[in-house]
Chain A
Amino acid sequence: MAATSYCSRAVAPLAGLLLLSFGSLATSQIEEQAEQFFRSGHTNNWAVLVCTSRFWFNYRHVANTLSVYRSVKRLGIPDSHIVLMLADDMACNPRNPKPATVFSHKNMELNVYGDDVEVDYRSYEVTVENFLRVLTGRIPPSTPRSKRLLSDDRSNILIYMTGHGGNGFLKFQDSEEITNIELADAFEQMWQKRRYNELLFIIDTCQGASMYERFYSPNIMALASSQVGEDSLSHQPDPAIGVHLMDRYTFYVLEFLEEINPASQTNMNDLFQVCPKSLCVSTPGHRTDLFQRDPKNVLITDFFGSVRKVEITTETISLQTDLGILESRDKEDWMDEELIEPLKYAEQLPVAQIIHQVCFQFILFKETSFLISEK
Chain B
Amino acid sequence: MVPVSVVFTRESVPLDDQEKLPFTVVHEREIPLKYKMKIKCRFQKAYRRALDYEEEALSLGSMQEAETMLAEPQEQAEGSLTVYVISEHSSLLPQDMMSYIGPKRTAVVRGIMHREAFNIIGRRIIQVAQAMSLTEDVLAAALADHLPEDKWSSDKRRPLKSSLGYEITFSLLNPDPKSHDVHWDIKGAVRRYVQPFLNALSVAGNFSVDSQILYYAVLGVNPRFNPASSSYYLAAHSLPHVINPVESRLGSSAASLYPVLNFLLYVPELAHSPLYIQDKDGAPVATNAFHSPRWGGIMVYNVDPKAYNASELPVRVEVDMVRVMEVFLAQLRLLFGIAQPQVPPKCLFSRPKSEGLMTWELDRLLWARSVENLATATTTLTSLAQLLGKISNIVIKDDVASEVYRAVAAVQKAAEELASGHLASAFVASQEAVTSSERAFFDPSLLHLLYFPDDQKFAIYIPLFLPMAVPILLSLVKIFLESRKSWKKPEKTD
Q: Any chain B CB within 8 A of the CB of A181?
A: yes
1/0 per residue A126-144: CB within 8 Å of B? 0011001100111110001
Q: Decide: B152 and A39 in contact? CB cutoff 8 A.
A: yes
Residues of chain B within 8 A of A140, CB atoms compared: 444
Instruction: From the candidates B325, B333, B379, B386, name the one contacting A319 in the complex (CB within 8 A).
Output: B325
A145-B257, A316-B330, A317-B356 known; A138 vs B444 contact (CB < 8 Å): yes
A310-B292, A313-B291, A317-B326 known; A193 vs B241 contact (CB < 8 Å): no
Instruction: From the candidates A79, A309, A317, name the one contacting B330 in the complex (CB within 8 A).
Output: A317
User: Across chains A and B, which 8 residue pairs bring their CB atoms closest together, nearest first?
Assistant: A192-B383, A76-B244, A153-B145, A316-B326, A313-B289, A78-B248, A308-B292, A43-B294
Residues of chain B within 8 A of A254, CB atoms compared: none
A129-B449, A313-B334 known; A321 vs B154 contact (CB < 8 Å): no
User: Using a Cβ cutoff of 8 Å, how many contacts connect chains A and B?
Assistant: 157
Q: Decide: A313 and B327 in contact? CB cutoff 8 A.
A: yes
Q: Decide: A144 and B240 in contact? CB cutoff 8 A.
A: no
A43-B292, A312-B290, A322-B192 known; A152 vs B451 contact (CB < 8 Å): no
The residue in chain A whose Cβ has the minimal distance to the Cβ of B196 is A319
Q: Decide: A312 and B441 in contact? CB cutoff 8 A.
A: no
Interface set, chain B 246-291, CB cutoff 8 A to A: 247-248, 252-255, 257, 277, 279-280, 285-287, 289-291
Instruction: From the candidates B193, B286, B295, B447, name the one contacting A308 in the complex (CB within 8 A).
Output: B295
Q: Any chain B CB within 8 A of the CB of A182?
A: yes
Q: Any chain A CB within 8 A of the CB of B389?
A: no
Q: Decide: A43 and B447 in contact? CB cutoff 8 A.
A: no
The residue in chain B whose Cβ has the minimal distance to the Cβ of A261 is B241
Q: Decide: B444 and A139 in contact? CB cutoff 8 A.
A: yes
A152-B161, A310-B290, A310-B292 known; A189 vs B154 contact (CB < 8 Å): no
A38-B154, A329-B188 known; A312 vs B277 contact (CB < 8 Å): yes
Q: In angstroms, how far is the closest chain B Cβ from the Cβ of A115?
A: 13
The residue in chain A whose Cβ has the minimal distance to the Cβ of B288 is A313
| Chain A to chain B contacts (Cβ below 8 Å), 11 pairs | A38-B154, A41-B157, A132-B447, A189-B383, A193-B380, A312-B277, A312-B285, A313-B290, A313-B334, A317-B326, A317-B356
Q: Decide: A189 and B240 in contact? CB cutoff 8 A.
A: no
A39-B152, A154-B157 known; A308 vs B243 contact (CB < 8 Å): yes
The residue in chain A whose Cβ has the minimal distance to the Cβ of B446 is A138
Q: Any chain B CB within 8 A of the CB of A123?
A: no
The residue in chain A whose Cβ has the minimal distance to the Cβ of B250 is A78
Q: Decide: A308 and B240 in contact? CB cutoff 8 A.
A: yes
- What CA separation (Å) do A146 and B247 show in the bound complex? 15
- What CA separation (Å) do A133 and B442 show in the bound complex? 10
Q: Any chain A CB within 8 A of the CB of B32?
A: no
A80-B252, A129-B449, A317-B326 known; A43 vs B295 contact (CB < 8 Å): yes
Residues of chain A within 8 A of B117, CB atoms compared: none
Q: Decide: B383 and A193 in contact? CB cutoff 8 A.
A: yes
Q: Any chain A CB within 8 A of the CB of B103?
A: no
- What CA separation (Å) do A320 and B449 show in the bound complex? 60
Q: Any chain A CB within 8 A of the CB of B102?
A: no
- What CA separation (Å) do A41 and B150 show in the bound complex? 11
Q: Any chain B CB within 8 A of the CB of A283?
A: no
Residues of chain B within 8 A of A152, CB atoms compared: 161, 294
Q: Any chain B CB within 8 A of the CB of A233?
A: no
1/0 per residue B451-488: CB within 8 Å of A? 10100000000000000000000000000000000000
- What CA separation (Å) do A317 and B197 show in the bound complex? 12
Residues of chain B within 8 A of A71, CB atoms compared: none
Q: Any chain B CB within 8 A of the CB of A241?
A: no
- What CA separation (Å) do A329 and B188 show in the bound complex? 8
A contacts with B: majority SS: loop
A185-B451, A319-B193 known; A311 vs B292 contact (CB < 8 Å): yes
- What CA separation (Å) do A322 and B145 show in the bound complex? 42
Q: Decide: A313 and B294 in contact? CB cutoff 8 A.
A: no
The residue in chain B whose Cβ has the minimal distance to the Cβ of A80 is B252
A152-B161, A316-B327, A317-B330 known; A310 vs B188 contact (CB < 8 Å): no
- What CA separation (Å) do A263 and B354 show in the bound complex? 42
Q: Any chain B CB within 8 A of the CB of A282?
A: no
The residue in chain A whose Cβ has the minimal distance to the Cβ of B255 is A145
- What CA separation (Å) do A138 and B243 show in the bound complex? 31
The residue in chain A whose Cβ has the minimal distance to the Cβ of B149 is A41
Instruction: From the candidates A148, A179, A307, A319, name the one contacting B241 in the complex (CB within 8 A).
Output: A307
- What CA separation (Å) do A179 and B297 show in the bound complex? 43
Residues of chain B within 8 A of A193, CB atoms compared: 380, 383, 441
Q: Any chain B CB within 8 A of the CB of A232?
A: no
Q: In angstroms, how far is the closest chain B Cβ from the Cβ of A142?
A: 10
1/0 per residue A186-202: CB within 8 Å of B? 00010011100000000
Q: Any chain B CB within 8 A of the CB of A314?
A: yes
Residues of chain A within 8 A of B447, CB atoms compared: 129, 132-133, 136, 138
Residues of chain A within 8 A of B145, CB atoms compared: 153-154, 194
Q: Any chain A CB within 8 A of the CB of B331?
A: yes
Q: Decide: A314 and B287 in contact? CB cutoff 8 A.
A: yes
Q: Decide: B157 and A43 in contact? CB cutoff 8 A.
A: yes
Q: Decide: B241 and A263 in contact? CB cutoff 8 A.
A: yes
A41-B152, A43-B295 known; A315 vs B451 contact (CB < 8 Å): no
- What CA separation (Å) do A163 and B377 show in the bound complex? 38
Q: Any chain A CB within 8 A of the CB of B443?
A: yes
Q: Decide: B192 and A138 in contact? CB cutoff 8 A.
A: no
Q: Any chain A CB within 8 A of the CB of B214?
A: no
Q: Any chain A CB within 8 A of the CB of B239?
A: yes
Residues of chain A within 8 A of B255, CB atoms compared: 145
Q: Any chain B CB within 8 A of the CB of A52?
A: no
Q: Any chain A CB within 8 A of the CB of B77?
A: no
- What CA separation (Å) do A145 and B444 show in the bound complex? 16
Q: In angstroms, how far is the closest chain A Cβ from the Cβ of B182?
A: 17
Residues of chain A within 8 A of B254, CB atoms compared: 144-146
Q: Decide: B453 and A179 in contact? CB cutoff 8 A.
A: yes
Q: Any chain A CB within 8 A of the CB of B293?
A: yes
Q: Decide: A138 and B356 in contact? CB cutoff 8 A.
A: no
- What CA separation (Å) do A144 and B449 show in the bound complex? 23
Q: In angstroms, how far is the closest chain B Cβ from the Cβ of A188?
A: 9
Q: In angstroms, how far is the closest chain A Cβ from the Cβ of B250?
A: 9
Residues of chain A within 8 A of B252, CB atoms compared: 78, 80, 145
Residues of chain A within 8 A of B446, CB atoms compared: 138
Residues of chain A within 8 A of B239, CB atoms compared: 310, 312
The residue in chain A whose Cβ has the minimal distance to the Cβ of B152 is A41
Q: In angstroms, how far is the closest chain A Cβ from the Cβ of B197?
A: 9
- What CA separation (Å) do A179 and B255 show in the bound complex? 35
- What CA separation (Å) do A44 and B158 show in the bound complex? 12
Q: Decide: A312 and B443 in contact? CB cutoff 8 A.
A: no
Q: Decide: B161 and A78 in contact? CB cutoff 8 A.
A: no
Residues of chain B within 8 A of A138, CB atoms compared: 442-444, 446-447
Q: Any chain B CB within 8 A of the CB of A306?
A: yes
Residues of chain B within 8 A of A309, CB atoms compared: 154, 157, 240, 292-293
Q: In angstroms, how far is the closest chain B Cβ from the Cβ of A31?
A: 9
- What CA separation (Å) do A78 and B383 show in the bound complex? 32
Instruction: From the candidates A38, A317, A318, name the one contacting B152 in the complex (CB within 8 A).
Output: A38
Q: Any chain A CB within 8 A of the CB of B46?
A: no
Residues of chain A within 8 A of B240, CB atoms compared: 307-310
- What CA separation (Å) do A194 and B144 show in the bound complex? 11
Residues of chain A within 8 A of B236, CB atoms compared: 312
Interface set, chain B 290-310, CB cutoff 8 A to A: 290-295, 297, 299
Q: In angstroms, how far is the closest chain B Cβ from the Cβ of A120?
A: 13
- 7 more contacts with CB within 8 A, not counting A34-B280, A128-B449, A305-B244, are A34-B237, A80-B248, A139-B444, A152-B161, A194-B146, A314-B286, A317-B356
Residues of chain B within 8 A of A263, CB atoms compared: 238, 241
Q: Any chain A CB within 8 A of the CB of B61?
A: no
- What CA separation (Å) do A138 and B322 show in the bound complex? 44
